[in-house]
Amino acid sequence: MKQVRIGLIGIGLRSSIAKYWHQPDGESVVVAAADLSISRLKAFQEDINKETYITTDYKELLERQDVDAVVITTPDHLHEEHAIAAFRAGKHVYCEKPLAISVDGCDRILDEWEKSEKHLMIGFNMRYMNMFRTMKGIVDSGVIGDIKAVWVRHFVGLGGEYYYHDWHANSSNTNSLLLQKGSHDLDIIHWITGSYTKKVSAFGSLDFFGGEKDNNLTCPTCDQKQDCTEFSTTPLNQCAFRNEVDVEDNNMVIMELEGGIKASYLQCHFTPDYQRNYTFIGTKGRIENSEPDGKVYVKTRKSNTWHEYADQTYDIKTTEGSHGGADPVICQDFVNLVLHNKQPLTTPYAGRMSVAVGCAASESIRAGGKVVQVTQRVGSEKAQSTGIT
């Protein structure tokens, strides 16, 4: 195979990354797309490839012999169904995070992946962002010593705009935003520390969004739109205060990782700003990032080495492409995985473990903060061999 022929299942907002895969003169080309919306499919043809085969039945896409690999960008609760079907059809799979909305769902996907002899890659594009690759490199260099504590604050400005105007706000579709949104952060904690979470205790609630509004109410038809702080002019315009909204809009998670590392993760969806703030504290110092400033700060303590004599600031370079330049790189990594068996920065098992932590934290929240053990996957040599690094 000299060129990967790709089909997409789900033509929502995230499907915009298809432009990085459609390279007719390169190693990959987009040849098919499936979605329930004909209008979205036709728009996709116009934007990506006018020759793309389109269908409203994803099973028709999977039956095509000219599709080598499938990209899954459907709502979270459909990932399991679509990934399993793709493996059974003999396709390689790129699945957007989270891998599934339950641990059992993840394990069923991994079971099919292991039997298929095909490749599976998870869309953890934060591993490809310059900011977090820099932080990973700093930690791996040993300059801050052995990590003992991690603090992460996720300010999800415009949370209503991104998550409470559509399907994300119902737990039957997402379980929790600790999976949909938090899976990135939980994975980065695992990746940079090199350790998986063993147990969690968490608290969270629905304090701003949700309410008693009709489930069919949309922003354009609402008689209170002039005074509503969450009025939306985008196609995602279901009322953010509708009755069916049941996903916590702020969460606090305490984790114990392998090796005794303690970590905290805080997420809020009604904060005015949008940024992720990470702090890793080691035996010789700490690092902290500032997304608004594009910097990573390294501060050192007495260590009887030359490192103790100076602190350091890293100015993160900008790269072209969406998500800070991460998307074109992660898309190329999938092509390299399929064509050249080159392992990417992400791993299937890491995708499973971020979901496992999110599910455990959600269980803890809904049980009043009890300590919940994070379930490990056993009896899977292939999954374990492609672990955290």
* Parallel/antiparallel/unpaired status of strands 250-257 and 262-268: antiparallel
Residue-wise pLDDT for 295-319, tens only, equals 999 999 999 989 899 999 999 999 9
What is d(CA 142, CA 138) in angstroms, rounded to the nearest whole number? 7
CB 259 within 8 A of CB 195: yes
CB 138 within 8 A of CB 325: no
pLDDT of residue 388: 63
With a pLDDT cut of 70, the percent of the chain lying above it is 97
Q: Residue 73: pLDDT above 70? A: yes
Note whether residue 239 is domain-resident: no
With a pLDDT cut of 90, the percent of the chain lying above it is 91
Note whether residue 18 is domain-resident: no
pLDDT of residue 220: 95
CB 364 within 8 A of CB 201: yes
Domains contained in the chain, number: 1
The burial of 240, by beta-carbon neighbours within 10 Å (0-12 exposed, 13-18 middle, 19 or more buried), is given as buried
Note whether residue 362 is domain-resident: no
Q: How confident is the model at residue 8 (pLDDT cuts 50, 70, 90)?
A: very high
Q: Residue 171: pLDDT above 60? A: yes
Cβ neighbours of residue 298 under 8 Å, at least 6 residues apart? Answer: 138, 143, 144, 285, 286, 287, 311, 312, 313, 314
CATH number at residue 269: 3.30.360.10
Note whether residue 298 is domain-resident: yes
CB 179 within 8 A of CB 101: yes
pLDDT of residue 234: 86
What is d(CA 11, CA 53) in angstroms, rounded to the nearest whole number? 13
Note whether residue 180 is domain-resident: yes
pLDDT of residue 162: 86
pLDDT of residue 140: 98
CB 334 within 8 A of CB 344: yes
Look at 381 and 317; give whichever has higher pLDDT: 317
DSSP of 8-63, one letter per residue? EE--SGGGGGHHHH-BTTTTEEEEEEE-S-HHHHHHHHHHT-TT-EEES-HHHHHH
Note whether residue 261 is domain-resident: yes
Q: How confident is the model at residue 79 (pLDDT cuts 50, 70, 90)?
A: very high
What is the average per-residue pLDDT within 49-67? 97
pLDDT of residue 380: 56
Residue-wise pLDDT for 29-38, tens only, equals 999 999 999 9
- Backbone dihedral angles phi then psi of residue 65, each to the nearest 5 degrees: -80, -15
Domain range for 173 is 127-209+245-315
* Parallel/antiparallel/unpaired status of strands 274-282 and 312-315: unpaired
Note whether residue 184 is domain-resident: yes
CB 72 within 8 A of CB 112: no
Q: For the whole model, what pTM was predicted?
A: 0.95
What is d(CA 343, CA 336) in angstroms, rounded to the nearest whole number? 8
- The pair of structure tokens assigned to 356 is 């496992």
* Parallel/antiparallel/unpaired status of strands 28-34 and 53-55: parallel
Note whether residue 359 is domain-resident: no
Residue-wise pLDDT for 315-357, tens only, equals 999 999 999 999 999 999 999 999 999 999 999 999 999 999 9
Cβ neighbours of residue 166 under 8 Å, at least 6 residues apart? Answer: 236, 238
- The pair of structure tokens assigned to 248 is 């916590």
